Amino acid sequence: MSAPSNKTFLTSLSRRTLLTGLSLAVITLVLSPQMASADMLDTKDWQSVLGKAKGQTVYFHAWGGADNINAYIDWAADQVKDRYGVTVKHVKVSDTANVVSQIVAEKAAGKEKGGSVDLVWINGENFASLKGKGLLLPMSWAPDLPSYKFADIEGKPSLTIDFTVPTDGLESPWGMAQLSFYYDSTVTKDLPKSASALLDWASKNPGRFAYPKPPDFIGSTFLKQLALELADDASILSHEATDERYKPVADKLFAYLDALHPNLWRKGKAFPDNVSSLKNLLADSEIEIAFTFNPGEASSAIANNELPNTVRSFTFDGGTIGNSHFVSIPFNANAKEGAMVFADFLLSPEAQSRKQDPNVWGDPTVLKIASLNKQDQARFAALDLGVATLKPEEFGPALAEPHASWLARFEADWTKRYGVQ
């Protein structure tokens, strides 16, 4: 039998290659429809993204517990509506963990497309949970946003490492945060500059300190701050919270809280709901020291006549927990392109400078100011951050967030011991 001619052989090979390629494509669509859908998005072609986004409605699930933040989100929504024809609906949530549960439930129900969440304000254990379960848009999209080039990746490592978990382009940075305390300088003179000093201060000033009930974000952050300070070796918290690692840290944390609670506001029998409730207690002179994860919170409250202009801020000498917060797109988002357009606007110099204005929100920028043009640099230079905002050099080191596994255990044990109120 003679060998086939070169022409016949190449024709046969081409057919087999074509059929194999088609078969693989079909298999990919059957086995991973969400991945195939994501692959059709060319995020590097921004004009194409803008074209597809026009007319979409983005359901942005974000914490809704502060009027000034809600007003800022409304402003940003108006801007993208006018400029890009994208409608943004702010779905106000009290706990992002509930949004995670919603996305998990949709996945379990087989809802691979048309999900109810298009964009979510997220970080920490909630991001770790969604990423670990494969419930985020399965592609690196954030670095392709036009405004991402301004992000201070080198100067702010937390923009790419979220609570020890690499972001891998699955979430876009939105703001910075570091724990700080604030007080009325006409009332309080003796400031506790560490966890141990705070315990001493509370015993001398019973009823004048409080913290929000976990799992509220700021209340849980307070637990992590204490754990880092009280641990014999704080570096252990950067690893997964195994039983062996967890017990000695938890023993010290809850021994501290057992001693602190009798000297709290209402003797630790009730707790504020959130950071806004904590701020209101200070405004009403029910407590003397409050705290926030937003360094501009106190100045913003002064600007909005929520706190007296004698309020000032301080921090612990050994530093406090700092991190970044982000927005992310679930795997089955209905308006992926619209979500990207909104995320890009939130990252723009215009939106970032407005967000840092204490008269608006006071949330620190994620951008590298030196990378901006002169006009945008001037936006930031013109900001008066307010009398109650600490300067960067006054903050001390930003302590790294513990591995996300620690918080779930802290919160569960806290609820067992104190959460009946």
Give the separation between CA 72 and CA 174, rounded to whole angstroms.
13
Looking at the chain, the number of H-run helices and the number of E-run strands are: 16, 11
- DSSP tag of 31: H
Tokens at 82, concatenated: 């006018």
pLDDT value of residue 15:
39
Give the separation between CA 165 and CA 226, rounded to whole angstroms.
22
pLDDT value of residue 9:
30
Question: Considering only CA atoms, which of 10, 220, 210, 175 is closest in space to residue 76?
Answer: 175
Residue of higher predicted confidence among 210 and 3: 210
- The CATH architecture that domain 44-174+325-386 belongs to is 3-Layer(aba) Sandwich (3.40)
User: Under CATH, what is the fold of the domain 180-322+397-418?
Assistant: D-Maltodextrin-Binding Protein; domain 2 (3.40.190)
Backbone angles phi, psi at 176, to 5 degrees: -110, 160
Mean pLDDT of 75-85: 98
Mean pLDDT of 286-314: 94
Looking at every residue in the chain, the average pLDDT score rounds to: 90
pLDDT value of residue 28:
38
120, pLDDT greater than 70: yes
Give the separation between CA 194 and CA 205, rounded to whole angstroms.
16
Residue of higher predicted confidence among 289 and 8: 289
Tokens at 138, concatenated: 């399965």
pLDDT value of residue 40:
63
36, pLDDT greater than 60: no
Residue 393's pLDDT band (cuts 50, 70, 90): confident
pTM here is 0.74
Give the separation between CA 386 and CA 389, rounded to whole angstroms.
6
Residue 250's pLDDT band (cuts 50, 70, 90): very high
The segment(s) of the chain belonging to CATH 3.40.190.10 are 44-174+325-386, 180-322+397-418
pLDDT value of residue 163:
87
201-245, pLDDT tens digit by residue?
A: 999 999 999 999 999 989 999 999 999 999 999 999 999 999 999
Question: Considering only CA atoms, which of 367, 387, 342, 420 is closest in space to residue 155?
Answer: 367
89, pLDDT greater than 60: yes
Residue of higher predicted confidence among 296 and 137: 137
Residue of higher predicted confidence among 372 and 163: 372
325-347, pLDDT tens digit by residue?
A: 999 999 999 999 999 999 999 99
Mean pLDDT of 389-404: 84
350-364, pLDDT tens digit by residue?
A: 999 999 998 899 899
Tokens at 212, concatenated: 């929000």
41, pLDDT greater than 60: yes
Residue 11's pLDDT band (cuts 50, 70, 90): very low
The rounded radius of gyration (Å) of the Cα atoms in the chain is 25
Give the separation between CA 150 and CA 270, rounded to whole angstroms.
44
Tokens at 349, concatenated: 């110099």
Residue of higher predicted confidence among 19 and 253: 253
* Tokens 């995670």 found at: 100
Residue 420's pLDDT band (cuts 50, 70, 90): low
Give the separation between CA 374 and CA 371, rounded to whole angstroms.
9
